[in-house]
Amino acid sequence: DAGVTQSPTHLIKTRGQQVTLRCSPKSGHDTVSWYQQALGQGPQFIFQYYEEEERQRGNFPDRFSGHQFPNYSSELNVNALLLGDSALYLCASSRWEGKNTEAFFGQGTRLTVV
């Protein structure tokens, strides 16, 4: 089992550009959540996708958008990049099992905006 895989592992973008990050969930998982982890901070919830729809959203601007595909993989898009968007972006996948639901995290994508 490959677990949660994210790509790319690192990338550098220029302020104002757009970026797309990708996530493949753990086998058998149908829910994907995205988190932003700024340097020295805890992860912050961006949004969650289930059945190809955004189900929950954190306190992030509309510049952050996403998509989930029929195979449950997901993309995170960020438009009009700001220097403050530099962070580690983590993807977590899960499958609903009531109180035993567990989120499995990928290794993250390190985004640097210059």
Partner 1 sequence: AQSVTQLGSHVSVSEGALVLLRCNYSSSVPPYLFWYVQYPNQGLQLLLKYTSAATLVKGINGFEAEFKKSETSFHLTKPSAHMSDAAEYFCAVSESRGAQKLVFGQGTRLTINP
Told to check if 111 binds partner 1 by CB under 8 A, we report no
Residue 28 near partner 1 by CB under 8 A: no
* Interatomic CA distance for residues 82 and 33, integer angstroms: 22
| Strand ranges inside 14-86, DSSP E | 19-24, 31-37, 44-50, 53-57, 64-68, 74-78
Choose between 14 and 98: whose C-beta lies nearer to partner 1: 98
The answer to whether 13 and 114 are in contact (CB under 8 A) is yes
CB of 45 to partner 1, least distance (A): 5
Enumerate binding residues for partner 1 (CB under 8 A). 4, 31, 33, 35, 40-45, 48, 56, 58, 90, 92, 94, 96-108
